[in-house]
Amino acid sequence: MIKDIRTALRGFLLADATVASIVGTRIYPRVLPQGVRDPAVVYNRVSMLGDHHMQGASGLVEVRMQLDAWAETGDEAYELASAVKGRLDGYRGEMLSVASPPEVVRVQGVFFANARDGYDDARALYRESWDYMLHYGER
């Protein structure tokens, strides 16, 4: 069975006291739900690369994840993005998914890759979009 890093990433972030104190449980896949005004994180898989050797797939993958920190001020968005970076950057170990049944994803390494900021006029919210490269075993 192929393991899904997205649910493990959500669980890993929610388990951090600093991140959870800012977002509560407001960590969402793909899209910020309409009407959410409190600080929140949205995660998106940007790309996914497999790894192979002469006998076939190695079971290791590299995923580029974009994590958007949303808030009503630029400073709040930056503070949240920084808390996420503090939790993720350089991490190596296990992440427990919030899927049912839960599964352990073995992470070889998480590395900060890129950052950009922005403002959404329609939502009247600031956004910090920070990318991470996650290397893990999908099997």
CATH of the domain at 26: 3.30.2000.30
Please determine, for residue 73, whether its predicted confidence score (pLDDT) is greater than 90. Answer: yes
User: What's the rounded mean pLDDT across residues 83-95?
Assistant: 98
Query: Quick one: CA dihedral 121, 20, 34, 128, positive or negative?
Result: positive
Distance separating alpha carbons of residues 11 and 31, to the nearest angstrom: 17
Q: In total, how many domains does the chain have?
A: 1
Q: Residue 60: which domain range? A: 5-137
Q: pLDDT exceeding 70 applies to what percent of the chain?
A: 99
> Which pLDDT value is given to residue 58?
64
pTM of the model: 0.92
- Within 10 Å of residue 67's Cβ, how many Cβ atoms? 22
The strand pairing partners of 111, in sequence order, are 133
Query: Quick one: CA dihedral 28, 29, 30, 34, positive or negative?
Result: negative
